Structure 1
Amino acid sequence: MRATVRPLRGADLLRGTDRLRTLVYPEYPEAHEPRRHAAVWDWLARHPLAAEMHRWVAVAENGEVVGHLAAVPQHYRILGTRVVAHTPADFQILPGYGFYALSLMRRFFGVAENCVCVDQVAEAIAIEERMGAEKAGRLHYAAKGLDFSRPTRVPAPLRPAMKVPTLGLRAVDRALGAAFGRGPAVEPLFGFGGGSGKLFDGLSEEVSAEVPCAVEKDAAFLKWRYGPGSPPNPVTVLGAVEGGDLLGYAVLWVNEEGGDGYLLDLTTRPRRRDAARSLLREAVRFFARAGAYIVRYRFAESPTSPRPEDLRRLGFFFREGRRHTMLVRFADPDLHVTALDVANWSYSAGDGEATFWAGRPVGSRNGSARMG
């Protein structure tokens, strides 16, 4: 079966891409909601680097869209150097047209001088490696059960704990939280702009100066990433504050069903483990109050993140099979060598493309004052 790869332009190809999504992911309700995905692409089009975003489709001889891939740009700091790297996004191909997955990825690497990929799908990882990206390592996947009244959704590692009532577990959580002792005060933050914008800018600069590899997350980026119009909005933002200084922040989101709590980002000043512990403890308490049954957190261990042993002390467990792989390719050899070790990265799930699609559908309630 033959197809041609071309830039995605025009209403017909957009409609064809919406139909492709329903064929590739028939079991997912959100795949049948084109307005939801249109809203994500409208949001991506407001990114400061939107002019450097690209989308391609594979089109069969009968005009059917049988494949899709996008290249989403982002600013990174590698060894203090500001660079733009692209991430492959929304990669889809119909069975029978697998050859054109390579053709789509060739288009991607033809425009992406630098790339950062975070993926879990073995087939996609194999293609990315074939095109020149190299594995830097794997992100941690940690989860914590909060409410076992819904046993069908409890992961296998937690089933032995089903004998413990949920209220008892929350009492245990309070004890575990106290085990960290007192740390910096944590309080809700109302957005990333206004007077707090300089605090986020300063934190981003400090992280970039001391951590070899990081997403550039100044106030403008964070407002775009989590503010009005973004897929997860509204989110809750917690800040660790000491003497008027921002030591770190956490971005929390509960999905529309109210069951899954996501720790999208937790970033502190380098080596402020006390701030990471305080934020982690208060994040767990927030999700418990919100009625989430589980907390999910993907991250690279770094001087700006919690340590795995701190997560375990709060009752998190780690799942090897749910970890994502980071792959990189940078044109500058020195930058590439540095980026090729995940231990050099400050990186959370919210920094990457995988979480762009996990938002509320268009038309759902999002009028919260928690973001501004």
Structure 2
Amino acid sequence: MITPIAVVGPTATGKSDLALDLAQRLDGEIVNIDAMQLYRGMDIGTAKLPVAERRGIAHHQLDVLEVTETATVAAYQSEASADVEAIMARGRTPVVVGGSMMYVQALLDRWEFPATDPQVRAKWEAVLADGGVQALHDALRAADPVAAKTILPTDGRRMVRALEVVELTGRPFAASQPQVGEPHWGTIILGVDRETAQLDARIEPRTTRMFDQGLVDEVRELIGRGLREGQTARRAIGYAQVLAYLDGEYELDEARERTFIGTRRYVRRQRSWFRRDPRVHWLDGADAALADSAFEHIRSRTAESRATCDPAVDNGESRVSMNRSRP
């Protein structure tokens, strides 16, 4: 029995290295669940792992969109689900890794998405274009006060979607959200986090390194490929700030500082979101034995699952047979 593993949590905690370690031990393949890493050419600013550092492990859901395309949770759910099932059909272990919150929930909770209507969506996008996020937030507060309280008032794209769903279904936006239950495929969910001060101390040099490695040049190249016309890619942390710098809105140092602040703020949101999920088994990213701790939890959970399915199965044998790592 193959059990997928999900490695989730805030940015810069060490998820990618842990996922690689687990994939090696479990004869696995990795499925990305970072929305911005779906885009071709968005490498430096998303901390996308270079091919040379992937240890020969197959990676899926990387570089599948052009920056002019719009990343959607529904499309990701369909395509990533197919990847997970294909990996399992090959007799290998899917290791899903990333921190895009709604994408994680869509994949693991089998989110059923309400239909869309181009005319309804265009109407609310026009409100956003004409009146800005405040006008959209006012409309959402009138239509669905609960959604207005839970969606960030700066998140125009999500407010448009909420208003579209409310208008099409006649029900609150929350009614279309997935219910937390047994994760799809019985996935074992691991969360990686670090102390706040330690994490901030990692984010700051990471941000500086991105700019030193050529983030500005990367953005310049992507502009030539349509970055400004894209609805999703251009809003990514780092890319939005560099675009503002190139437009003369910020000095370079300010763009770097705003990228750091934006990343730090996003980390707080990720932590709050994932900490609400009781299914997540939390690990300390600073633990020198992180991979061993994660693997022991996986072995324990897998043994429990097999014993539940077949009480006659000896737990010791289950733990040994579960370890299908390469020699």
TM class, shorter-chain normalised? under 0.3
Q: Which has the higher contact order (CA 8 A, sep 6+)?
A: 2
Superposition TM-score, scaled by structure 2 size:
0.26
Per the normalisation by structure 1, the TM-score is 0.24
Structure with the higher helix share, 1 or 2: 2
